[in-house]
Structure 1
Amino acid sequence: MPVYLHSIAPALPPHCLKQADVQDRAATIFGRKYEHFDRLSASFANAGIDSRYSVVPIDWFAQAHNWQDRNAAYISGAKALFIDAANAALQEAGWSGSEVDCVVTVSSTGIATPTLDAQAFSEMGFRQDIMRIPLFGLGCAGGVSGLSVAQSIATARPGSKVLLVVVETCSLSFRSDRLQKADIIAAVLFGDGAAAACISSDKSSGKAVVELHPGYQTMWPKTLGIMGWDVDESGLGVVFDRSIPSFVKAEFAEATSKALNAANLNHNQIDRYVCHPGGAKVVDAIENALHLDQGSLDAERQTLRAAGNMSAPTVMFVMKAVLDAGTSGQMMACALGPGFTASYLPFHVTAKAA
């Protein structure tokens, strides 16, 4: 049963944080507390990021915040991002909220119970019998994994309209109390954002036909400490190991080969890899691991420069840019996340004749 992407739409929160301003604010907050900050501060200039966006203004980060503060800001900001991204995707697909049969919501940067789709129920105009599937804990792999789940549901329920919404508010987990290197790197890289997609087994009538194929995941044993959250009284604390770029160089090619084999494809058949840009060094490592021309992952670098690493939705921003550029052929979306996990989704784009 073929499954098609009808639309993909990104959304950003209202507060734009310029990288230079973030660096200055981080120096004010960390400078006197963290003895290695001056050495690490060069990472702000080398991260390949000009700006990122936040659900809260920059002055919010100067104050101490507990779980309640952070999660209240998450529910408010993530709900607004959910509505913005979902409405944009529905409009592009020509769907209404009441037509959606299933909504898959991916988010790992806060806790909402009732879930974000329920929080936005009235504004979205969803039916009372809508199927709701919230996914938590996927981290940076959540965009590709969410697309895979949505593809599977659309395959299993022919004719159903599936809405995927991926929302992350990474900025709210900024921590100045732990004085760990991971917190400095998180301040360098992460921002907030959302993306939504409309998916069904009905053939798309857009400018290009985008057919989604079954996804693939692989996990590495004994790697739980590479990426994730530490949880304490103040909130979520990022786990972001320095070994990630070297791990990608060592392991990503073999994992990708397995994903290609599962899809009955080989490396030479892939016209474009669509990757989650975890950071400038990670993008370089992916190009190295997959023997791609240096600089070929241009949409990844442009997305990182414009909005930073937004975790799960970032790869969907890249996918949107690749499709808008008119790229066609066989592609493979891929992302790495907590687990440690690699998630893949093969998809094929056929450009329509003018």
Structure 2
Amino acid sequence: MSVYLHGLSTALPPHCLSQSEVQDRAALIFGDTYPQFDRLSKTFETAGIDKRYSVVPIDWFSQDHGWADRSAAFLTGAKAMFIDAAERALTDAGWTGADVDTVVTVTSTGIATPSLEAQVFSEMGFRDDIMRVPVFGLGCAGGVSGLSTAQAIAAGKPGSKVLLVVVEACSVSFRSDRLQKADIIATVLFGDGAAAACLSTAPKATGNVITLSTGHQQMWPDTLDIMGWDVDETGFGVVFDRSIPSFVSQEFAAATRGALTAANLNHADIDRYVCHPGGAKVVDAIEDALHLQQGALNAERETLRAAGNMSAPTVMFVMKSVLEEKKTGQMMACALGPGFTASFLPFHVSAEAA
């Protein structure tokens, strides 16, 4: 059963933070307490990021925060981004909230119970019989894994309409108390954002035909300490190991071959890999691992430059950018996340018939 993409959107929170502004604020916070900060601060300039967006203003980061106010900031910001992204995707698809049969919500940067799609139920105009599928903990792989989950649900319920919303507010997990290198690198890289997609087995009436195939994942044993969260009394603490670029160089090609084989494809069939840009070094490592021409992933670099690493939704920003360039052919979305996991989704773009 073919599943088609009917709408795709992105959304950003209101506070735009330039990389230089973040670097200056980080120097005020870390400079006198973290001996290695001067050395690590150079990564602000080499990270390939010009700006990112936050659900909270920059002064928020100079104050102490615990679970209660972090959760409040997450809930306020994530709800606003959910509504913004979802409404844009629905408009793109020509749907309304009442048309949606299933909503899949992906996040890893905050906890809400009832989950986010219930929190915005009235504003979105969802029906009272909507199926809710909240997914937590996929991290940077959440965009591709979320698309795969939504694709499987749509394929399993032919004719139904599935809305995927991926929301991350990485900023509210900022930590100045742990004084770990990972916290500095997180400050360099991460921002907030959301994306949404509308899927159905009913073909699109107009525009390019975007067909989503079955997703694929690979998980490596004994890699739990590469990426994720530590959880303590203050909140989430990022786990972000320096080995990620080298791990990509060593393991990603074989994982990609496995995903291609599962989809009855090979490397020569792929017109465009659409990748999560975890960082500038990770993008370089993916190009190298897949033997891509240098610069082949420039949409990934531009997304990183314009909005930072937003975790799960970032790959959907890249996907939107690639589709807006009118690229066609066989593509493969891919991302790496906690687990340690590689997530893949083949999709095909056919030009609108003349």
- TM exceeding 0.5: yes
CA shift digits 1:301-351 (9 cap, x unpaired): 000000000000000000000000000000000000000000000000001
Instruction: Quote the RMSD (CA, aligned, Å).
Output: 0.5
User: Number of residue pairs matched?
Assistant: 354
Query: Does structure 2 retain, via aligned residues, the 8 Å contact 1:223–1:340?
Result: yes
Query: Does structure 2 retain, via aligned residues, the 8 Å contact 1:213–1:345?
Result: yes
Task: Please give the alpha-carbon distance, in whole angstroms, between the structure 2 residues aligned to 1:204 and 1:19.
Answer: 40
- State the match for 2:331 in structure 1: 331
- State the match for 2:23 in structure 1: 23
What amino acid is aligned across from residue 126 of structure 1 in structure 2?
Answer: F
What amino acid is aligned across from residue 56 of structure 1 in structure 2?
Answer: V
- State the match for 2:165 in structure 1: 165
Query: Does structure 2 retain, via aligned residues, the 8 Å contact 1:214–1:346?
Result: yes
- State the match for 1:141 in structure 2: 141
What amino acid is aligned across from residue 46 of structure 1 in structure 2?
Answer: T
- State the match for 1:230 in structure 2: 230
Task: Please give the alpha-carbon distance, in whole angstroms, between the structure 2 residues aligned to 1:7 and 1:172.
Answer: 29
Structure 1-normalised TM-score? 1.00
Query: Does structure 2 retain, via aligned residues, the 8 Å contact 1:6–1:206?
Result: no
- State the match for 1:313 in structure 2: 313
Task: Please give the alpha-carbon distance, in whole angstroms, between the structure 2 residues aligned to 1:171 and 1:46.
Answer: 20
- State the match for 2:297 in structure 1: 297
What amino acid is aligned across from residue 116 of structure 1 in structure 2?
Answer: L
Question: Within the alignment, does 1:153 sit opposite 2:141 as a pair?
Answer: no
Query: Does structure 2 retain, via aligned residues, the 8 Å contact 1:167–1:312?
Result: yes
- State the match for 1:87 in structure 2: 87
Write the mapping of 1:198-347 to structure 2, written as runs, cut at 5 A: 198-347=198-347
- State the match for 1:109 in structure 2: 109
What amino acid is aligned across from residue 50 of structure 1 in structure 2?
Answer: D
Task: Please give the alpha-carbon distance, in whole angstroms, between the structure 1 residues aligned to 2:61 and 2:206.
Answer: 42
- State the match for 1:11 in structure 2: 11
CA shift digits 1:208-244 (9 cap, x unpaired): 1000000000000000000000000110000000000
Match of 2:211, SS state, is strand
Determine what percentage of the aligned residue pairs are the same residue: 74
Structure 2, gaps ≥5 residues long: none
Query: Does structure 2 retain, via aligned residues, the 8 Å contact 1:275–1:315?
Result: yes
Task: Please give the alpha-carbon distance, in whole angstroms, between the structure 1 residues aligned to 2:138 and 2:182.
Answer: 19
Query: Does structure 2 retain, via aligned residues, the 8 Å contact 1:171–1:190?
Result: yes
- State the match for 1:76 in structure 2: 76
CA shift digits 1:159-185 (9 cap, x unpaired): 000000000000111100000000000
Task: Please give the alpha-carbon distance, in whole angstroms, between the structure 2 residues aligned to 1:97 and 1:84.
Answer: 12
Task: Please give the alpha-carbon distance, in whole angstroms, between the structure 1 residues aligned to 2:320 and 2:35.
Answer: 41
Task: Please give the alpha-carbon distance, in whole angstroms, between the structure 1 residues aligned to 2:146 and 2:90.
Answer: 17
Structure 2-normalised TM-score? 1.00
Query: Does structure 2 retain, via aligned residues, the 8 Å contact 1:27–1:37?
Result: yes
Task: Please give the alpha-carbon distance, in whole angstroms, between the structure 2 residues aligned to 1:316 and 1:207.
Answer: 19
